[in-house]
Amino acid sequence: MDWKLFTTTFVTIFLAEMGDKTQLSTLTFASGGSSRLTVFAGSALALVATSAIAVLVGEAVSRVISPEWMKRVAGVAFVVIGVWTLWPGKE
């Protein structure tokens, strides 16, 4: 196992997920639900399923587009989304 890749992936995803809509939704379900274990299992399975889809699609896309270009596209997309989010008057 590539521990450097594992650690980088874990830390990046962990920090990105803190306070996002998925975590807030899980918090809401846990606060009103009768079984926190059920909420945990459902949210954990959902995150695993979406991660599996991302890994499969990423692997397939990497056969057509180089990983370097994927990093560039992702970087530009994040910048564009950030600028759009900060742009005044979009309400």
Tell me the pLDDT band of 3, cut-offs 50, 70 and 90: very high
Report the alpha-carbon angle 49-52-55, nearest 5: 155
Q: pLDDT at position 90, please?
A: 58
pTM of the predicted model as reported, rounded to 2 decimal places: 0.68
Domain positions in the chain: 3-86
Which tokens go with 43? 């949210």
Query: Quick one: which of 78, 13, 25, 75 has its CA closest to 50?
Result: 13
Q: What is the pLDDT of residues 7-63, one digit of tens each?
A: 999 998 888 888 888 888 899 999 987 889 999 999 999 999 999 999 999 899 989
Provide φ and ψ at 66, rounded to 5°.
Answer: -65, 150
